[in-house]
């Protein structure tokens, strides 16, 4: 799964990497992105902008917003089957920019790890989004992150990982395409191009949205 990530990049780097000029009022560096927060996405609806969507997909047909708490991830293997995701997979895809993500190793008292590309460059998760209207008229845009089986690096930590898109495939993901032509993108990112290191349990609390949570932490002693 993917339950926490970071997106920390200077405006100039975001412009160079994604071709998007950032409005400071919209974007700020986030070290500990967590479910239910409003976070940066690039949607197929407005591909030239960074927008803030709530993490945790709320399908348009949902009776209340609480369903989003359970839909922070969508398994790649069942996107075309699950009612919560199949329409979004067909019509509402997004990129979720990130510079790293956190995962908890299950067999070591849930020790957290920070995981990123060896190049330390920003990347994008494959995401889906939806628009939901509350009974009082409030509209919430929300998203989920697609997950897949782990690569050789991640499988030492967890049995799932987020789908990280190759840079060349990002525009394809948010362009009009039949779902069948996108399935090949939902594969594990090469483990040899990634690295991971243990971090402190400060990351467990979303309140700790500070650079220090990304630093390597010794589990000995």
- What distance in Å separates the CA atoms of residue 33 and residue 206, rounded to the nearest whole number? 7
Boundaries of every domain in the chain: 5-214
Average confidence (pLDDT) over 104-123: 90
* 48 has pLDDT over 80: yes
* 183 has pLDDT over 60: yes
* pLDDT band, very low/low/confident/very high, at 220 (cuts 50, 70, 90): very low
**Domain 5-214 in CATH 1.10.3720.10:** no
- Active-site residue, from 49, 77, 94, 103: 103
What's the whole-number average pLDDT of the chain? 92
Where does residue 48 fall: left (phi above 0), alpha (psi -120 to 50 degrees), or beta otherwise?
Answer: alpha
Per the annotation, the verdict on 33 as an active-site residue is no
- What distance in Å separates the CA atoms of residue 201 and residue 150, rounded to the nearest whole number? 23
Mean pLDDT is lowest, of 60-69, 106-115, 204-213, for 106-115
How crowded is residue 60: how many other Cβ atoms within 10 Å of its Cβ?
Answer: 11
The confidence score (pLDDT) of residue 135 equals 87
- Active-site residue, from 2, 33, 116, 124: 2
Per the annotation, the verdict on 103 as an active-site residue is yes
- What distance in Å separates the CA atoms of residue 141 and residue 4, rounded to the nearest whole number? 19
* Bridging pattern class, strands 73-75 and 93-98: unpaired
């Amino acid at each position: 799964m993917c339950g926490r990530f970071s997106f920390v990049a200077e405006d100039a780097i975001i412009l160079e990497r994604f071709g998007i000029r950032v409005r400071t009022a919209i974007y700020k560096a986030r070290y500990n992105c967590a479910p239910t927060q409003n976070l940066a996405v690039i949607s197929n609806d407005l591909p030239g902008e960074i927008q803030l969507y709530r993490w945790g997909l709320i399908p348009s047909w949902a009776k209340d917003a609480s369903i989003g708490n359970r839909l922070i991830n969508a398994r790649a293997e069942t996107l075309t089957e699950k009612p919560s995701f199949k329409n979004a997979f067909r019509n509402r895809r997004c990129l979720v920019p990130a510079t790293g993500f956190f995962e908890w190793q299950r067999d070591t008292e849930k020790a957290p790890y920070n995981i990123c590309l060896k190049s330390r460059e920003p990347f994008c998760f494959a995401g889906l989004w939806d628009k939901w209207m509350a009974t009082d008229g409030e509209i919430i845009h929300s998203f989920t992150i697609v997950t897949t089986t782990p690569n050789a690096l991640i499988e030492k930590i967890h049995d799932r990982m987020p789908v990280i898109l190759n840079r060349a495939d990002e525009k394809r993901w948010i362009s009009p395409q039949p779902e069948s032509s996108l399935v090949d993108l939902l594969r594990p990112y090469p483990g040899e191009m990634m690295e991971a290191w243990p971090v402190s349990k400060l990351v467990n609390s979303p309140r700790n949205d500070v650079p220090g949570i990304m630093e390597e932490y010794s589990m000995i002693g």
